[in-house]
Amino acid sequence: MPAERPENWKRNLAKETKNTLRDSVYSALKAMIVTGQIPPGSRVTENDIAAKLTVSRTPVREAFNRLERDGLVTGRPRQGYVVTEFDINMFREAFEIRELLDGHATALAAAAATEQDKARLRAMLAECERLAAIPERTTREKFQELEVGIDLHRVIAEISGNAMLHGMLCGILDKCQHYVWTELLWLDEWKIARDEHAEIVEAICAGDAARAGTLARAHVRGSRDNVLRLLQAKSDYQSFLAKAS
């Protein structure tokens, strides 16, 4: 099928197409996983993806290799790949690390932020406020707010100036983003995060590294607790159902 492909076949792939199919497939799959379009636990086969994106299996396999390295899919030899499912324990592990890294990155950012950086953070905050203030907002707008809220942390990590730290934090956030979305979306506590974000940005703009770091760590702990509480409740419900039957 890839043989007689229309002129502008690239539209099937990610919006901003890289110059190689491998990268495009990687971006497309990553986006679908992170946003939950392909839910955790789904089996993904090379043929399906290749057919869906109108490419051969080769670039798909290479994309899978990268995704596996990112921890977004889990594969065993000759048994295919599955979108990684986070259990409660993996979540706890991830957020424990995130607390360290995000706290440090935020402290660094407070020391390193230029005026331009500060303006960028304030703009993101304002965008969150705007999306939150919409009277009868749709799910789509809730998602957008969450996305900007998570991106805020990515940008802070970028401002920290430590590229490796930035990369590692993005990796963790990618892995968790879907869960944060689906779990936190329905939680009123999310507005607490909004306030905490504001405080963090404030501390960064004031150049108060110690305070920014402390706030960031507390914020991560708070997010963790919210998600864990929901996951725990879900898990309890599952075992309740199992016993009842």
Here the tokens at position 69 are 């390295």
- Number of residues engaging a second copy in binding (CB under 8 A): 25
- Select from 238, 48, 173, 77 the least CA-distant residue to 68: 77
For position 189 contacting DNA by CB under 7 A, the verdict is no
Degrees to nearest 5, angle at CA 121 with 192 and 163: 105
Q: Given the complex with DNA, which of 39 and 80 has the nearer CB atom? A: 80
**The dihedral of CA 182, 187, 191, 196: what is its sign?**
negative
When binding is defined by CB under 7 A, the residue of 10, 61, 92, 194 that contacts DNA is 61
State which of positions 46-75 bind a second copy (CB under 8 A): 61-62, 65-66, 68-70
**Contact status: 142 vs a second copy (CB under 8 A):** no
Tokens representing 95 are 């957020």
56 binds, among a second copy, DNA, none (CB under 5 to 8 A by kind): DNA
137: left (phi over 0), alpha (psi -120 to 50) or beta: beta
Shortest spacing between CB 52 and DNA, in angstroms: 13
Helices (H), 40-189: 46-53, 57-70, 88-112, 115-133, 139-159, 163-184
Chain residues that interact with DNA, rule: CB under 7 A: 1-3, 5, 20-22, 44-47, 55-59, 61-62, 75, 77-81
Binding site for a second copy (CB under 8 A): 18-20, 23, 61-62, 65-66, 68-70, 77, 90, 93-94, 96-97, 100-101, 104, 162-165, 168
